[in-house]
C-alpha cells in the first residue's frame, strides 16, 4: 500500500494495516517524539498508542486512526479534509439500517439528508452514521414529521403543547409558543431559540422562526439536521470513539429516547461501510 487514508478496518491508516505507508507513518511519529516501537510497517498496538498520544498532544480527536487531520499534522498529507463516505450511502444501505421503513421514503428523502451533511462537511463515517441513526431514533419512517402530543408536552385537559409555552430554556415565553415551535423535521427541532438560531445558521435568516412549518420541508430538514450535528461534532465523535451511544444520543435528544434504535442503526451502518 502506497498511501495512508482512513476508512474501513484494515485500510492503511487503521490498526491492523501493514506496508510501506505504515512504515512512513511510524517514522513520522518517531521523528515527532512519539515512538511506535519497531519501525516494521505493522500498524499494531505500539503504533496505535503512538498515534493516540500524538493526537492528544495536537488536540485532535484521539481515535487511534491516522486520518487526514492526523496525517496533515504529521506532515504526511497536504489535505486535512476527511474522506467522504456519502457516495457509499445508498437507499439499499440505509434500508438495512431502517428495516421497518418503506424504501420509497428513503429514496425520496435521502438526497436532502446527504446534501445537508455535505454542506456542513460532515462527510466521514461517524458523523454520517450519527445523522442516520438520529433519524432512526426520531422518525423511523425516514421523513420529516411533527412532534406528537404526550404527557411531557401537554398538560391534562390542556391545549396542545402548553407545557412548552413558558419553557425559557428553549426561548419560549408565552401562550401559543409551545404549539408554534413544537418539534419538527428529522431531528425534532424544538423551541423559539432553536428555530431562530438554526435558521440563521443555515442562511434562512428569520424565515424558519417566522414559518416553523418549513422545518418539515425535506431540504430544510436535511440542513437543520446537519447544522445541529455540526455544532456537536467533536463531543459526538468522542462519545462514538468510546462506544458511548447513550451519550451520543443525549447530545442530540437530551435523554435516551430511541437509544435502542439509534444504536442498532449505527452499528448496522458501521458494519456495512466496513464491507468493501
- What is the CATH number for 152? 3.30.20
Domain containing 244 equals 86-144+224-273
Please state the pTM of the whole predicted model. Answer: 0.87
Query: Could you tell me which residue, 275 or 188, shows the higher pLDDT?
Result: 188
Question: With bands split at pLDDT 50, 70 and 90, how would you rate the model's confidence at 107?
Answer: very high
Report the percent of the chain where pLDDT is more than 90. 89
Cβ burial of 214 (10 Å; 0-12, 13-18, 19+) is buried
Q: What's the rounded mean pLDDT across residues 164-175? A: 97
| SS3 category, 29 | helix
Which residues touch 125 (CB under 8 Å, ≥6 apart)? 7, 85, 270, 273
Q: What's the rounded mean pLDDT across residues 10-24? A: 80
Count of domains observed in the chain: 3
One domain for residues 40 and 50? yes
Q: Residue 276: what pLDDT?
A: 67
One domain for residues 61 and 185? no
Residue 2 has pLDDT above 80, yes or no: no
One domain for residues 195 and 156? yes
One domain for residues 54 and 90? no
Question: With bands split at pLDDT 50, 70 and 90, how would you rate the model's confidence at 15?
Answer: confident
Amino acid at each position: 500500500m502506497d498511501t495512508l487514508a482512513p476508512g474501513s478496518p484494515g485500510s492503511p491508516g487503521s490498526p491492523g494495516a501493514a506496508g510501506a505507508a505504515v512504515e512512513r507513518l511510524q517514522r513520522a511519529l518517531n521523528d515527532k517524539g512519539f515512538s511506535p516501537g519497531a519501525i516494521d510497517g505493522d500498524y499494531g498496538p505500539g503504533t496505535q498508542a503512538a498515534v493516540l498520544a500524538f493526537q492528544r498532544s495536537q488536540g485532535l480527536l484521539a481515535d487511534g486512526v491516522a486520518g487526514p487531520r492526523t496525517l496533515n499534522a504529521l506532515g504526511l498529507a497536504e489535505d486535512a479534509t476527511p474522506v467522504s463516505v456519502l457516495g457509499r450511502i445508498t437507499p439499499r444501505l440505509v434500508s438495512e439500517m431502517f428495516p421497518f421503513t418503506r424504501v420509497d421514503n428513503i429514496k425520496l428523502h435521502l438526497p436532502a439528508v446527504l446534501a445537508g451533511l455535505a454542506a456542513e462537511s460532515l462527510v466521514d463515517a461517524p458523523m454520517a452514521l450519527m445523522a442516520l441513526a438520529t433519524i432512526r431514533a426520531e422518525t423511523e419512517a425516514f421523513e420529516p414529521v411533527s412532534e406528537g402530543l404526550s404527557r411531557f408536552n401537554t398538560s391534562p385537559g390542556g391545549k396542545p403543547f402548553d407545557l412548552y409555552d413558558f419553557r425559557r430554556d428553549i426561548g419560549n415565553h408565552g401562550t401559543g409558543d409551545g404549539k408554534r415551535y413544537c418539534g419538527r423535521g428529522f431531528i425534532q427541532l424544538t423551541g423559539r431559540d432553536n428555530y431562530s438560531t438554526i435558521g440563521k445558521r443555515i442562511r434562512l435568516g428569520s424565515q424558519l422562526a417566522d414559518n416553523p412549518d418549513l422545518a418539515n420541508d425535506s431540504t430544510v430538514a436535511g440542513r437543520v439536521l446537519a447544522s445541529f450535528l455540526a455544532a456537536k461534532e467533536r463531543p459526538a465523535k468522542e462519545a462514538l470513539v468510546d462506544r458511548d451511544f447513550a451519550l451520543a444520543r443525549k447530545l442530540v435528544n437530551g435523554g435516551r429516547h430511541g437509544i435502542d434504535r439509534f444504536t442498532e442503526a449505527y452499528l448496522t451502518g458501521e458494519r456495512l461501510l466496513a464491507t468493501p
